[in-house]
Structures are given as C-alpha cells and as structure tokens.
C-alpha cells in the first residue's frame, strides 16, 4: 500500500486522559535482538502514566536477562509457543480485567518521538500508526532509506536521521488526519477499553497467524467501531521479523495461508474473502452491490456494514 492509494478521513480527536493503558509485546528467540531495540526506543520515546503497565510475553523461552533493567516491564513466560491471536488474547484478558486500553506492539519496531500522542485519542475506534510500508522516505543526506521491507542493519541505528524524517512527514500533512485501506495489519494497534468490552477477543481458529486481525476489523465494523491509520504517528517497522517463529519455509507459509483463508471464507463468505483476504478480482462485487464509491473513498467500515 502506497500513498497514492490512500484516501484521507478528517475528524476531530477525542481525548481520554483518565483511562490508563496496558502495553504488550511478544519476543521470540528468532527475533529477540529486535526486541532490544524496540524496548529501548519505546521507553525513550513514550510517555507512560504511573498506572500504565508493560507486558513482555516470552513466547519460546528467549533470553530475557537483558530486559530486566526496565522497571515497568512485567515478563510473562508462555508454557508453550502460542500464535499471534492467543498472545494478543492474553493481553486483552488483562486489559478487560483492569478496565484499561490495550496497545499491542510487534517487537520489530523502532518507536519515534511522540508517536503515542496521536494514539491517546479516540475512545471508540482502533488506532494504528503509519509506517514505512505506507510512506517510504529517504533522508536528505541519503544515509537512511525507509523502504517497505528493511533490516536492523539497513537502519544502522540512524535515530537522528529517523527523527528528521518523521518531522518532515508530519509537516506534509495537517494534524489529526486518519484513513483506512483494504489491508490494515495489526503490527501496532490501540484498542480502547470500550471496544474490548464490546468486541472481545481475537478469533484463534485461523491457526498460527493470519486473518485474525481482518476478522477483528470486520467485527468492529459490525459494532460501529472503525479501524484507522493515524498519519500523526509514524513508526519504523521492519516487516515480518516478528512473524511467528521466523522459521517457516515456502511450503509451510502456503499451507498456513490456505488454512486461514478457508476458515475466513467459512465465517464471512466468498465476497468478503475476495475483498479482504485475496484482495484482487473484486470489481464485479463492488459494482453489483453499488460499493464503488465507498471503496474509492476509503470508507471501508461503511463498506463492510453494507455487505454484512
């Protein structure tokens, strides 16, 4: 997804300064070194309230000694490796019990200055930061190139250059802009307590990973909650480094994709699968149902409600 495909939705922010938050992240052996950089940038660039909590879920007995220096971090040890939805549901359970918002974070992220300010708004909808998969940038000196798929080595700890890019990004747009796209992956997302209470847990029937975030988005739309990208919040996401155990081959990936696609189609039907999972050859669906304008204008919550 690139900037040329984005349609902007404008709306005033709604602030909830009383509700506190649970932040949650999963670390794995295969990507544990990304967790180190994610946590360092998070605690440097995130203003947390005194009652906010941070859960670090150790999915497969990764080395945790380096993370004990953060007083806010509470480490949860999984007895066995869990899939994405199961790990998110652990955090949802804690958030619902304590009546807190949930912010779930991939561990292959570099957090930037004031990234969470924009996400502290809106009581009713899910918020997702934008990143280098949507907006690609190159620093003025050319030493940092933010492409859709990157490694830590390509970033090379150029934090100052990243800060400058984020400033330039924010100068391009008016404040408080948001938008929706066909695919809105939950690489970093805030779910307000009201939404957690209304929509509940992620569906774990999709398997190891894939489809559960799209399913949750649909369930949110049915309950009149939107899922929005926030332009004011920009993160560097290394894309795929935190994915499950990191050791899947092509055949395993294809098998996993086939599984969650079948589960999704059984639950939501062929039309929704074509639009939101396969994401191609769907013009006839839009035309037959009169949904072209909603799709063109990025009003995917309305589109989902029309189809459902």
Residue 256's pLDDT is 83
Are 53 and 74 within 8 A, CB to CB?
Answer: yes
CATH, range 14-242: 3.90.550.10
Are 133 and 124 within 8 A, CB to CB?
Answer: no
Residue 181: CB partners within 8 Å, gap ≥ 6?
1, 5, 6, 134, 229, 298, 300
Structural tokens at position 96: 């619902």
Tell me the C-alpha distance between 63 and 60, whole Å.
9
Give 93-118 as a DSSP string: HHHHHHT-EEEEE-SSEE--TTTTTG
Beta strands in the chain (DSSP E): 7-10, 21-27, 53-58, 73-77, 101-105, 109-110, 126-131, 137-138, 145-146, 177-180, 188-191, 227-237
Residue 245's pLDDT is 45
Residue 214: CB partners within 8 Å, gap ≥ 6?
183, 184, 264, 276, 277
Reference 234, options 157, 135, 156; nearest CA is 135
Residue 305: CB partners within 8 Å, gap ≥ 6?
221, 222, 224
Helix (H), strand (E) counts: the chain: 11, 12
Q: What is the pLDDT of residues 242-300, one digit of tens each?
A: 654 456 677 877 888 898 999 999 999 999 999 999 999 999 999 999 999 999 999 99
Tell me the C-alpha distance between 207 and 205, whole Å.
5
Residue 251's pLDDT is 83
Residue 248's pLDDT is 67
How buried is residue 117: exposed, middle or buried, by Cβ count under 10 Å (0-12/13-18/19+)? middle
Residue 14's pLDDT is 44
276 backbone dihedrals φ, ψ, rounded to 5°: -115, -15
Are 87 and 26 within 8 A, CB to CB?
Answer: yes
Q: Could you report the average pLDDT of every consecutive run of 10 residues in the chain (308 residues)?
A: 51 54 95 94 96 96 88 95 94 97 97 94 89 96 94 96 97 95 95 96 88 96 96 93 61 85 95 94 95 96 95
Count CA within 13 A, CB hemisphere, residue 134: 25
Tell me the C-alpha distance between 74 and 16, whole Å.
25
Q: How many CB atoms lie within 10 A of CB 154?
A: 13
């Amino acid at each position: 997804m690139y900037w040329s495909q984005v349609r902007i939705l404008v709306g005033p922010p709604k602030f909830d300064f009383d509700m506190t938050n649970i932040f949650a992240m999963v670390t794995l052996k295969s990507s544990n070194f990304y967790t180190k950089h994610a946590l360092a940038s998070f605690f440097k660039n995130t203003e947390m309230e005194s009652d906010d909590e941070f859960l670090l879920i150790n999915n497969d007995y990764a080395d945790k000694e380096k993370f004990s220096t953060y007083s806010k971090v509470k480490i949860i040890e999984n007895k066995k490796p869990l899939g994405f939805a199961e790990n998110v549901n652990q955090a949802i359970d804690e958030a619902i019990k304590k009546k807190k918002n949930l912010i779930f974070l991939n561990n292959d992220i570099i957090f930037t200055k004031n990234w969470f300010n924009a996400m502290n708004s809106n009581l009713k909808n899910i918020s997702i930061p934008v990143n280098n998969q949507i907006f690609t940038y190159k620093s003025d000196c050319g030493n940092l190139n933010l492409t859709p798929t990157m490694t830590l080595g390509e970033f090379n700890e150029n934090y100052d250059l990243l800060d400058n890019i984020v400033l330039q990004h924010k100068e391009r747009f008016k404040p408080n802009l948001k938008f929706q796209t066909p695919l809105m992956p939950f690489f970093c997302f805030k779910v307000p307590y009201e939404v957690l209470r209304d929509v509940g847990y992620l569906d774990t029937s999709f398997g190891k990973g894939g489809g559960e975030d799209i399913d949750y988005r649909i369930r949110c739309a049915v309950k009149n909650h939107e899922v929005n990208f926030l332009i004011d919040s920009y993160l560097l996401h290394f894309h795929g480094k935190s994915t499950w155990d990191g050791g899947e081959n092509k055949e395993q990936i294809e098998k996993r994709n086939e599984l969650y696609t079948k589960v999704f189609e059984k639950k939501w039907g062929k039309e929704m699968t074509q639009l939101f999972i396969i994401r191609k050859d769907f013009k006839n669906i839009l035309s037959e149902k009169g949904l072209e304008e909603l799709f063109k204008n990025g009003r995917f919550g309305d589109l989902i409600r029309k189809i459902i």
